[in-house]
Amino acid sequence: MFISEKKILKKPIPQHLAIILDGNGRWAKKRGLPRSLGHYNGAINLAKIAQLCDKYGVKYLTVYCFSTENWKRPKEEVEYLMQEPVKQWYTNKDKIIESNIVIKVIGRRDRFPQDTLKMILEMEESTKNNTGLTLVIAADYGSQTEITEAVKKITQQVVDDKIKIEDINSELIENNLYTACFPKLDLLIRTSGEVRISNFLLWQLSYAELYFAKCYWPSFNKRELLKAFKSYQSRNRRFGGLNEVKK
């Protein structure tokens, strides 16, 4: 397929893009490498794609890096996934801060090893005044947990007589999700050929466009990203109405 960067950049680019970074393990296996090297190359690729998205004018990039179910994986793999980002952060901290990207982390915070949590807090604090792309990292993230926590918070407000049942609407639910301060999702990409959402942004995905790429995450490059944008630009987003939205 012919892909012209120039042509694609003249048309609307998703303002909020989400990616399920999948296929690190299979990428490594195909090359006879340990799964950890797949994760390592996946992390390197995330830095590249985030910078590219920033350059292309994407404002928010939300990436699924570790699910609430991923704790089920072998202990050594989980350990690697918790420790490698800490190492990466302390090695590349200055470069990351200088890149002008804002980093936010969504998900549970009560199960991370201490040094991983410390790194997360430091990363958020030291990038909060940047003005470029906001990179939202979903780690120990599960959409069902997120919605359950929102239900609990809202119910508590009712019990405490702070709000009435009649006050519960979709806006209030949205405001109680981890993603409350981020704009609506435009496009979701999942790599690796799997065609499922797993446990990602179940509420937030309504009316987002979906795109499934065959390649494994560490191989997802500029051309693959532009292909996804091209597909996005060909969609007719109606949001339940009848009007054709011209791009």
Q: What is the binding site for ligand IPE (CB under 6 A)?
A: 20-26, 64-67, 70, 81, 192, 194, 196, 198
Residue from 22, 54, 140, 186 carrying the catalytic annotation? 22
Distance CA 195, CA 210 (A): 10
Residue from 41, 45, 70, 199 carrying the catalytic annotation? 70
Distance CA 17, CA 224 (A): 14
C-beta closer to Mg ion: residue 14 or 23: 23
Catalytic, 140? Answer: no
C-beta closer to Mg ion: residue 22 or 224: 22
- The reply to whether 220 sits near Mg ion by the rule CB under 5 A is no
Radius of gyration of the chain (CA): 19
Tell me the C-alpha to C-alpha distance, in Å, between residue 62 and each of 34, 40, 70: 27, 19, 18
Residues 6+ apart with CB under 8 A from 132: 54, 99, 100, 101, 102
* Contacts to Mg ion from residues 9-28, by CB under 5 A: 22
CB of 166 to ligand IPE, least distance (A): 37
Count of residues in contact with Mg ion, rule CB under 5 A: 1
Residues in the chain: 247
C-beta closer to Mg ion: residue 24 or 127: 24
Catalytic, 22? Answer: yes
Distance CA 18, CA 25 (A): 20
CB of 199 to ligand IPE, least distance (A): 7
Residues at the contact surface with Mg ion, assessed by CB under 5 A: 22
Active site residues: 22, 70
